[in-house]
Amino acid sequence: MCNRASLLTFHLALVNHPRDALVIWTLSSVLYHGNWKEGVKTARELAGQSVNFVPEILESSNDLRDEKLAEKVANFVSTVLDSIDALTDSEGLIKAMGGYQSSPRSLLVRNVFLL
């Protein structure tokens, strides 16, 4: 249940605010490796691969310096955390779904957690 909510929160953050592939790879790699240096090294290796998830994931800017990359990753983390409200708070859900004209509003959050 928690993994589904986490995945949906991550996806919602990308749908609402598309990110550079390097930023996404860096966050994922840092979480996997448990440290910044190894995570960035792995992310830079992977970020050169083709990205085919438009519009959520943008082309990689592999030329970002570590300081700027850290800033962009921190901003992405903030966006992911802000997306939690859309899945856990009815007011947050209504606000998030307001941008989608034909979105179902009733029982959406409850059904996500019952799957």
- Judge contact between 51 and 9, C-beta under 8 A: no
Encode 3-38: b = buried (16+ Cβ within 10 Å), e = exposed: eeeeebbbebbbeeeebbbbbbbbbebbeeeeeeee
Structural domain range at position 40:
2-114
pTM here is 0.72
**Partner residues linked to 20 by β-bridges:** 58
Structurally, how many domains does the chain consist of? 1
Q: What is the pLDDT of residues 38-81, one digit of tens each?
A: 999 999 998 877 777 778 888 888 788 999 999 999 999 998 88
**Which of the four pLDDT bands, split at 50, 70 and 90, describes residue 115?**
very low
Alpha-carbon distance of 7 to 32, in angstroms, equals: 15
